[in-house]
Structure 1
Amino acid sequence: MAAVVDNSGEAVDAVKNNDLVVETAKSESKEFNVQNLVDMFTKLNPLAKEFFPSSYYHDQTQKTDDLDQIPVNNQSAGDENFSNKRGKSNFNQGRRRLNGRAFQAQRDDGIRRTVYVSDIDLTITEEQLAGLFSNCGQVVDCRVCGDPHSVLRFAFVEFANEDGARAALNIDGTMLGFYPIRVLPSKTAILPVNPTFLPRSEDEREMCTRTVYCTNIDKKVSQAEVKNFFESTCGEVTRLRLLGDQVHSTRIAFVEFAMAESAILALNCSGMVLGTQPIRVSPSKTPVRPQVMCPTLH
């Protein structure tokens, strides 16, 4: 066979020549593949995150010096700030949801400890009603309200625990005054009263027996009109406090009468229209304290 001379001038036999050709083809193929890889790698960013080992970010011993060597990407920093803000926002939302759930749980607990009492004789006071239910358990609060749909009244009685509320259901039909009362599980809880507004002395407790709490008052109704309304129906009004704000569409009032009998009569005014709204009247838990006037400077 004829010999083949390569570029260096060295001759090889046909078999070796064939092997050389094969080996040369393989070498060229390897060089070609390596060149492709080189071209690919040159297009990559050697400062990208994936070029740093994962242990780099978890090594707590390399905080300052190593971080100074990493180029800061403004967009990444912005994304991180956005993530921090979003995380803080999610935390606040989670805390609000937690507070909401806690409030709902507290409200549900109050409902389970409360009973609804209807068909209450007009002559029965809150103290008498609370005294009747105290045989079932410790009474935390008792609210008697005027019923616009009946000549009788209704009330909410809250106990210290659920056992008291369950026991109270057993006295349904008990005669109290001239009528048998009805006792049912309550669907609402009693709104707590600010303790700073509660009576502080025996005189203030006596004032509460002469005071009613009136709600759903038309905003266009003046204080003088509220006073005239109750005096024409119930008796002399000695003190009146009309309150309202920009949030609520109606106003409230505390009306103190000269006689406790007038306050009892005022409970029958629930459902009567004052202005354009039917008012709701219930016994007041707080006295109408005289407003303290600031002394003038001379």
Structure 2
Amino acid sequence: MRDLEELFSKLNPMAEEFVPTSIMDRSYCGENGGRVARVYLKGTRDSWGFARKKKGRLDNQGKRRANNRTSMAQREDVIRRTVYVSDIDHQVTEEHLAALFINCGQVVDCRVCGDPKSVLRFAFIEFTDEEGARAALSLSGTMLGFYPVKVTPSKTAIAPVNPTFLPRSDDEREMCVRTVYCTNIDKKVTQAELKLFFESICGEVYRMRVLGDYRHHTCIAFVEFVMADSATAALNCSGVVVGSLPIRVSPSKTPVRPRVPRPQIH
């Protein structure tokens, strides 16, 4: 005991607390430039840094939820301003359809689509306000072409078109008039066979682009004819079986631009 008392008596009571270097953060400096030890107890975290990270995650999650709520509200607003039109004659163009509904209100977009199971087509028409959409419902039963169209509230919004694909000049707008968009194409049908099909029924094809990937069981194609009348006639081909599948044909909103050759790397 005397030996221990003698040892303790030699300790300096004003000395700094000893901290092992293995748990000391020597990169943290004090106000006067001196090194200050920050002790991390085993099994714990830096509570300040952890709280800051947690707050950042909560803030980001809150922003994402707010953005999702905003986008959902915007989408629901667009749906309320959109009507679904069915039983559309193949001779009826988007211009004819928009002209019918223009008296109901200002039309933002008009999208005609083909149905492989029907000889008729359907469309979505979006107005600038809900009043236009409600007024459009009264036109259900109106004769347009050879059939009376049906107008009901839409359950979906019109999918936006990539603006870089839209026509950029009067020449490209004229190209769109001569172009159709064909979907649900059997992958076994070659481009030459598809071209021969359209030329034998509709007229001379000027340019064609067939697109497909490994994820989808079918292909799509943009078919540009020499004459605009040929493109109109091609709309009647919607529902015709080519290969083993009925194709869907609708007017194209985008021109078939010539491919730009890639620069060769030497």
Alignment TM class, shorter chain as reference? 0.7 to 0.9
Q: Tell me how far apart the structure 1 counterparts of residues 60 and 185 of structure 2 sit (CA, whole Å).
A: 37
| 1:4-15 correspondence runs (5 A) | none
Contact 1:147–1:268 (Cα < 8 Å) also in 2: no
Residue of 111, 135, 139 corresponding to 2:79: 111
Q: Deviations over 1:151-191 (max 9, x none)?
A: 33222111111111111112222222333222111122111
| Bigger mean CA offset, 92-101 vs 259-268 | 92-101
Q: Which amino acid counterpart does residue 143 of structure 1 have in structure 2?
A: R
Between Structure 1 and Structure 2, which shows a larger proportion of helix residues?
1
Structure 1 vs Structure 2 CA RMSD: 3.4
SS state at 2:168 partner = coil
Q: Tell me how far apart the structure 2 counterparts of residues 259 and 265 of structure 1 sit (CA, whole Å).
A: 10
Residue of 157, 160, 179 corresponding to 1:211: 179
What does residue 8 of structure 1 align with?
A: none
The answer for unaligned runs of 5 or more in structure 1 is: 1-62
Residue of 112, 118, 137 corresponding to 2:105: 137
What does residue 221 of structure 2 align with?
A: 253
Contact 1:220–1:275 (Cα < 8 Å) also in 2: yes
Highest CA radius of gyration, 1 or 2?
1
May I ask how many residue pairs the two structures share in their alignment? 238
Identical residues among aligned pairs (%):
67
What does residue 10 of structure 1 align with?
A: none
Contact 1:146–1:269 (Cα < 8 Å) also in 2: no
Query: Are residue 262 (structure 1) and residue 192 (structure 2) matched?
Result: no
Q: Tell me how far apart the structure 2 counterparts of residues 81 and 233 of structure 1 sit (CA, whole Å).
A: 72
Query: Are residue 225 (structure 1) and residue 197 (structure 2) matched?
Result: no
Query: Are residue 293 (structure 1) and residue 238 (structure 2) matched?
Result: no
Q: Tell me how far apart the structure 2 counterparts of residues 272 and 84 of structure 1 sit (CA, whole Å).
A: 63
What does residue 152 of structure 1 align with?
A: 120
| 1:7-156 correspondence runs (5 A) | 68=36, 71-77=39-45, 92-156=60-124
1:225, CA displacement in angstroms? 3.2
1:256, CA displacement in angstroms? 1.0
What does residue 204 of structure 2 align with?
A: 236
1:113, CA displacement in angstroms? 1.1
1:70, CA displacement in angstroms? 5.3
TM-score scaled by length of structure 1? 0.67
What does residue 167 of structure 2 align with?
A: 199
Contact 1:146–1:268 (Cα < 8 Å) also in 2: no
Q: Deviations over 1:62-89 (max 9, x none)?
A: x957x94652224312787777666655
SS state at 1:117 partner = strand
SS state at 1:119 partner = strand
What does residue 5 of structure 1 align with?
A: none
1:90, CA displacement in angstroms? 5.3
SS state at 2:253 partner = coil
Contact 2:91–2:235 (Cα < 8 Å) also in 1: no
Q: Which amino acid counterpart does residue 90 of structure 2 have in structure 1?
A: L
Q: Which amino acid counterpart does residue 119 of structure 2 have in structure 1?
A: V
Q: Which amino acid counterpart does residue 256 of structure 2 have in structure 1?
A: V
| 1:147-186 correspondence runs (5 A) | 147-186=115-154
- Structure 1 pair 258/165, CA: closer, same or farther in 2 (3 Å)? same
- Structure 1 pair 223/106, CA: closer, same or farther in 2 (3 Å)? farther
Q: Which amino acid counterpart does residue 133 of structure 1 have in structure 2?
A: F
Q: Which amino acid counterpart does residue 205 of structure 2 have in structure 1?
A: V
SS state at 2:123 partner = strand
SS state at 1:77 partner = coil
- Structure 1 pair 123/249, CA: closer, same or farther in 2 (3 Å)? closer
1:287, CA displacement in angstroms? 1.0
The answer for unaligned runs of 5 or more in structure 2 is: 1-28
